Amino acid sequence: DQGTCKDYNECLDEPCSDTERCSNIEGSYICDCLDTFIRDPQLKECVCSDGFGAVEGECVDINECDGESPCGENEACFNTAGNHYCECDEGFERGKKGDCKDFTPTDCEVKPKN
């Protein structure tokens, strides 16, 4: 009779940092960054993803629309998780160059023929 090897769950020893989750694999384990974190290749640790900032050990969304707007003239800023987007203000449309312009037709002065 040959014995069989049984995998030991290394994650029970909590080998990963507070910013990582442990996944047990046969014969080993993997530490992956938690959601909203990414691995910094130079630091070799998990740091907040772009659009998130560290607050008390957690990555929280940065509201890019607070303060000075990153959007252009005649645009409204909308914050999303980890990002933002800009839309033209009401009454404005995006032109060919990407800027928001007022395309409302102007009143034309029409004079009757004599």
Which residues neighbour 103 within 8 Å (Cβ) at sequence distance 6 or greater? 92, 93, 95
Reading the chain (114 residues) residue by residue, the pLDDT tens digits are 577 888 999 999 999 998 999 999 999 999 999 989 999 999 999 999 999 998 887 899 999 999 899 999 999 999 999 999 999 999 899 988 899 998 776 666 555 565
* Rounded Cα gap, residues 44 and 60, in angstroms: 21
Q: Which two tokens stand for residue 47?
A: 């740091």
Q: Which two tokens stand for residue 19?
A: 């910013």
Q: Classify residue 43 as left (phi > 0), alpha (psi -120 to 50) or beta.
A: alpha
Residue 114's pLDDT is 53
